[in-house]
Structure 1
Amino acid sequence: MKSLTCAAVLDDHLLFADSFALLLQKYGTFEAVSSFSKVDDFLGFLQSFGDQKLYVFLDYYLSEGNGLSIFTDIKRWNKQAKTIFVTSAISPAVIKNIVKYKPHGIISKFADIKEVVKCIKLVESGISHIDPRFAALLTQPDKPGINLTPREIELLKYFSQGNSIAETAAKTFLSPHTVVAHRRKMMAKVKCRTIAELLTYARDNEVI
């Protein structure tokens, strides 16, 4: 494969981020690969990098947020970025939600290096790629209430950590009224009556 450009890896498990970055450097023929385990560090890098060609390998499950919300930031700040999700998710709801946001690629953390290189080649040629491991998941019928937005998933993560409405509002820079409105909307989607039921649903479907 011809030499590409720069790449960045964001995964809140530092050992994985560093190890995957080394593999990309060796087999992906990128000029430089940066690895990050903290969202703020990655976003700082993204803003300073500017609107240059960049490959981003992004985890879905992040302790400081959600990969889909980060994907939204990437698209806003760098129109040339190619984003590939690298995920351990096996839930049809999660994979379908990622696909809905149209990243350039999705690969499983259980994939071998050949699959990673194949994905990079296809994306470089302008073709989006989804790991074959997810094919069967995408054909399963939808369940009601799984259409949660990145913001809603982010709020669910804070709720699952025991944060109150006020604490969640402060951490997400929203008003308490807006947080309550989001929570009410999520509960209506999932058809549950309590926050405990909502969190149970989210965990059962591996949304958080």
Structure 2
Amino acid sequence: MCKIAVLERFTLLGSGIASILSNEKDCQVILAKTREELVRKLDGTIPDVIIIDIIHNENSGFKPLKRFRNIFPHVPVLLVVSASYADCFEEYIRLGVKGFIFDSSDRDELLNAIRKLKKGGEYFTDKVWKIFKSSIQSRKHKPIDQKLTDREVAVLKLFSSGLTYKEIGSELSISPRTVETHKRNILSKLKINSTADMVKYAYRNKILI
């Protein structure tokens, strides 16, 4: 029996993965919307594979990914991604991710990826390497933006580590409202639209804690 832990914030996609796997006689699926719920449902047991839907996770999924790597250091992780997360592929791999499937992947590809990871292998398709290579090439020609103040860089680093407005405010001795103001300024200066974009920018440019 292969025990698959699935972290998916939105029930629709999670149920889709669970539905596919439930038709496989040798698969047991543990589905949860948060990392805390998933750890609780596992109740001390160790899954064979962890699947995380990065697309619908805050901060590009780095926080739950790091958490799972600490709790289950030897369990292979399969990420559900899209091409827009190519800037994060390198860091995901560095954090121990063993495979990627895209949100457009079909049943056969999902099952193939799970089987490879369960056997101790990896699942990185030609499409993944093509997108990854393209991201690296474009990165070489992008200078690191110097518009951010020291305080904005500090806020960016803390958002990238998964902290909340309140936690960042406490860390920097400023109010959550001031943190929100800094975030708006960062988004405006970098011409990006979300916290996920901030996290990807930080990892791409090595602006890390």
**TM-score normalised by L of structure 1:** 0.67
| Structure 2 CA distance for partners of 1:119 and 1:154, relative to 1, 3 Å | same
Q: SS where residue 97 of structure 2 aligns?
A: coil
SS of the equivalent of 1:154 reads coil
Question: Identity over aligned residues, as a percent?
Answer: 13
Which of 18, 40, 46 matches 1:44? Answer: 40
Alignment match of 1:11 (pick from 1, 8, 31):
8
Q: Is the CA contact 1:86–1:108 (under 8 Å) kept in the aligned structure 2?
A: yes
Match of 1:196?
187
Is contact 1:83-1:105 (8 Å) kept? yes
What's the counterpart of residue 169 of structure 1? 168
CA RMSD of aligned residues (A): 3.7
Q: Which residue of 2 aligns with 1:69?
A: 63
After superposition, give the CA deviation of every residue in 1:71-113 in whole Å (9 maximum; x if it has no partner): 2111211234221111234342133332332312111111111
Aligned residues between the structures: 179
Q: Which amino acid aligns with 1:37?
A: K
Residues 65/196 of structure 1: CA separation in 2 closer, same or farther (3 Å cut): closer
Give the partner amino acid of 2:17. F
Matches within 5 A, 1:119-158: 119-140=113-134, 141-143=137-139, 144=142, 145=144, 152=160, 154-155=162-163
SS at match of 2:191: helix
The 10-residue stretch of structure 1 (60-69 or 79-88) with the greater mean CA deviation from structure 2? 60-69
Q: What is the aligned partner in structure 2 of residue 191 from structure 1?
A: none
Asked if the contact 1:91/1:137 (under 8 Å) is kept, the reply is: no
Unaligned runs of 5+ in 1: 188-193
Structure 2 unaligned blocks of 5 or more: 146-155, 202-209
Does structure 2 retain, via aligned residues, the 8 Å contact 1:8–1:34? Answer: yes
2: CA distance, partners of 1:86 / 1:28: 23
- Contact kept in structure 1, 2:59 and 2:195, CA below 8 Å: no
Deviates more, 1:196-205 or 1:101-110: 196-205
What SS does the corresponding residue of 1:17 show, helix, strand or coil? helix
Q: Is the 8 A contact 1:95 1:138 kept in 2?
A: yes
State the alpha-carbon separation in 1 of the partners of residues 161 and 25 from structure 2: 32
Question: As a proportion of its length, which structure holds more helix?
Answer: 2
Shift, 1:142, TM fit = 4.8
Contact 1:9 1:36 (C-alpha < 8 Å) held by counterparts? yes
